[in-house]
Amino acid sequence: MHHFRYVRGKLYCEGVSVESLIKKHGSPLYVYSQKTLTEHFSKLDQALAPLDHMICYAMKANSNLAVMRTLANLGSGFDVVSEGELRRVIAAGGNPKKCVFAGVGKTEQEIEFALRKGIYSFNVESEPELIRINKVAARLKKIAPVAVRVNPNVDAGTHAKITTGTYENKFGIQFEQVEDVYARASKLKNIWLRGIQMHIGSQLTDVKPFESAVKKILPLVQKLTAKYKFEFFSIGGGLGIVYKPALASGSAEWWKTTDAKDILTPSLYAERLVPQLKALGLKILIEPGRFIAGNAGILVTRVEYVKQTGKKNFVIVDAAMNDLIRPAFYDSYHEIVPLNQKNGATVSSDVVGPICESGDTFCKDRPLPRVGEGDYLALLSAGAYGFVMASNYNSRGTVAEVLVNGNKAAVVRARQPVQEIWKTEKIPAWL
Ligand SMILES: *Cc1c(COP(=O)(O)O)cnc(C)c1O
């Protein structure tokens, strides 16, 4: 479910017409719906209500300060993967004590910063990392709370680049080795074995891989909890969203299909997992990123040219892979709809950006309404892993971001002036 829909043939974000935002702030433009963010958080929070739980939003999905503040105000914690992200939590008014720190490559400096800020837990991905955390904690005369990330070797059945829970991946510690790792960790003086964690992948639209992973590691969690008095179990993130609605894009009520039965809703997730998790008697952490932010954002772009070759109808737009890399990177599908609803026949089209890469393609041979120069298109479900992956490739400045709340809208990131792109570059004296 989200709050982008047609009102009298014009695309709206909540109570604001997207066209009015484009007129004011230019194109391309990311537009986020605060109500959608809030509802996603609350649905999950309510579904998990029978458990003592904490939602740690995986901020790598969308870390704009306004998005972060929205979630911090709802009581969210955060899953961070770098010192920069933890600093962002603080800048947004979030609570470091509700943060978990994930990632396979934490540096000494990052560990020190996180320890000083009193984070809830380090999610540890290797034994050398445990030893390093212990060393840094000893130097600071602190006790570091940690959880070992278990790799349950369960295939999430999702895209290869977002599967993390099999032994082909760099993540976590192999299921069979976890007990020994905890035994050795328990001898480290500045380590507090606070819990245990897993994360099997992203964009899971089926509850079964979660069920299998939980079922597989539950006995281990119980055994280790008895031994080390764990406080929490983190089930990770990975809840998928609808990218491709069942109803045709642009049809009157397409957005309703984001509540379709075949998607992993918070209630189905809870129905299958809460009973198993409740039996543990532990605090349960969940680290959703995409589920919260994915359908809460769109990328709006202007049609610059339509180029017809013998075979193809190329719609050349002003957004590119540097603004939204998911189609190029993960072959992902984004629904594309015009800002002004069109009722005529569709044309098989390739929507492409201006960058000199064949990968700079948002869709291929897709039936889309006929559009022309000066029309605007919206790429839907661009709220997660969208702006955060933007780059300056081709010396293109990063685009602006707007947050909508009811009838109000605010720029939450200004468009980057191109001169800023090379501001920190220097030409050596010998040139
Ligand atoms: C990326 C990541 C998440 C969030 O994944 P989503 O699919 O966006 O929910 C959660 N936990 C860890 C450890 C991650 O790396």
Of 256, 290, 324, the domain-final residue: 290
State the pLDDT at residue 254.
56
Q: Which of 63, 76, 78, 79 to mutate to test the pocket of ligand 1 (most atoms within 8 A of CB)?
A: 79
166/204 Cα distance (integer angstroms): 14
Strand (E) or helix (H) holding 377:
strand 376-379
State the pLDDT at residue 417.
98
Task: Say if residue 28's pLDDT is above 90.
Answer: yes
232/77 Cα distance (integer angstroms): 14
Could you tell me what percent of the chain has a pLDDT over 70? 94
The DSSP string of 282-314 is SEEEE--SHHHHGGGEEEEEEEEEEEE-SS-EE
Q: How far is CA 216 from CA 104, 154, 176, 234, in A?
A: 23, 9, 11, 14
Nearest-atom index, ligand 1, CA of 81: 15
Whether residue 218 is found in the same domain as residue 319:
no
Of 290, 307, 337, the domain-final residue: 290
**Angle at CA of residue 271, ends 269 and 274, nearest 5°:** 85
State the pLDDT at residue 262.
60
Whether residue 306 is found in the same domain as residue 257:
no
Q: Which domain holds residue 315?
A: 296-422
Contact yes or no for 305/352 (Cβ under 8 A): no
State the pLDDT at residue 268.
93
Residue with tokens 């009722």: 343
State the pLDDT at residue 398.
98
CA of 91 to the centre of ligand 1 (A): 21
Whether residue 407 is found in the same domain as residue 302:
yes
Which pLDDT band, with edges at 50, 70 and 90, does 171 fall under?
confident
Ligand 1 pocket by Cβ (under 6 Å)? 58, 60-61, 79, 102, 199, 202-203, 236-239, 287-291
Of 108, 117, 161, 167, residue with least CA distance to 139: 108
Q: How many CB atoms lie within 10 A of CB 176?
A: 11
CA of 242 to the centre of ligand 1 (A): 17
255/245 Cα distance (integer angstroms): 7
Which pLDDT band, with edges at 50, 70 and 90, does 77 fall under?
very high
Whether residue 271 is found in the same domain as residue 301:
no
Whether residue 360 is found in the same domain as residue 319:
yes
Mean pLDDT of 310-325: 97
Q: What is the pTM of this model?
A: 0.95
Task: Examine residue 1 and state whether it is found in any structural domain, yes or no.
Answer: no
Beta strands in 309-431 (DSSP E): 313-317, 336-338, 346-352, 361-369, 376-379, 400-405, 408-413
CA of 127 to the centre of ligand 1 (A): 21
Contact yes or no for 204/156 (Cβ under 8 A): yes
Task: Examine residue 12 and state whether it is found in any structural domain, yes or no.
Answer: no
Task: Say if residue 162's pLDDT is above 70.
Answer: no
Task: Examine residue 383 and state whether it is found in any structural domain, yes or no.
Answer: yes
State the pLDDT at residue 1.
78
* Residue pLDDT, tens place only, 255-314: 555 545 567 899 999 999 999 999 999 999 999 999 999 999 999 999 999 999 989 999
Task: Examine residue 431 and state whether it is found in any structural domain, yes or no.
Answer: no
Which pLDDT band, with edges at 50, 70 and 90, does 62 fall under?
very high
CA of 356 to the centre of ligand 1 (A): 31
Whether residue 265 is found in the same domain as residue 129:
yes
Whether residue 129 is found in the same domain as residue 260:
yes
Q: Which of 80, 125, 202 to mutate to test the pocket of ligand 1 (most atoms within 8 A of CB)?
A: 202
Relative to beta strand 232-234, strand 283-286 is parallel
Q: Please state the domain count of the chain.
A: 2
Whether residue 361 is found in the same domain as residue 273:
no
* Residue pLDDT, tens place only, 124-155: 999 999 999 999 999 999 999 999 999 998 87
Whether residue 112 is found in the same domain as residue 127:
yes
Task: Say if residue 252's pLDDT is above 90.
Answer: no
Contact yes or no for 336/70 (Cβ under 8 A): no
Q: Which of 199, 292, 332 to mutate to test the pocket of ligand 1 (most atoms within 8 A of CB)?
A: 199
Nearest-atom index, ligand 1, CA of 384: 8
- Domain containing 355 — which CATH number? 2.40.37.10
- The average confidence (pLDDT) of the chain is 94
Task: Examine residue 26 and state whether it is found in any structural domain, yes or no.
Answer: no
Whether residue 270 is found in the same domain as residue 383:
no
- Find out whether the peptide bond into 327 is cis, omega within 30 degrees of 0: no
CA of 162 to the centre of ligand 1 (A): 9
* Residue pLDDT, tens place only, 198-244: 999 999 999 999 999 999 999 999 999 999 999 999 999 999 998 98
Task: Say if residue 246's pLDDT is above 80.
Answer: no
Task: Examine residue 10 and state whether it is found in any structural domain, yes or no.
Answer: no
Clarify whether 363 is annotated catalytic: no
Which pLDDT band, with edges at 50, 70 and 90, does 253 fall under?
low
Identify the DSSP state of 163: B
Task: Say if residue 173's pLDDT is above 70.
Answer: yes
Q: How many CB atoms lie within 10 A of CB 180?
A: 11
Task: Examine residue 22 and state whether it is found in any structural domain, yes or no.
Answer: no
- Domain containing 114 — which CATH number? 3.20.20.10
CA of 353 to the centre of ligand 1 (A): 28
Whether residue 286 is found in the same domain as residue 321:
no
Whether residue 177 is found in the same domain as residue 62:
yes
Catalytic residue among 13, 56, 356, 363: 356
Identify the DSSP state of 23: H
Mean pLDDT of 81-102: 98
Of 290, 322, 344, the domain-final residue: 290
Task: Examine residue 429 and state whether it is found in any structural domain, yes or no.
Answer: no
Mean pLDDT of 194-201: 95
Residue with tokens 């685009």: 399
State the pLDDT at residue 293.
98
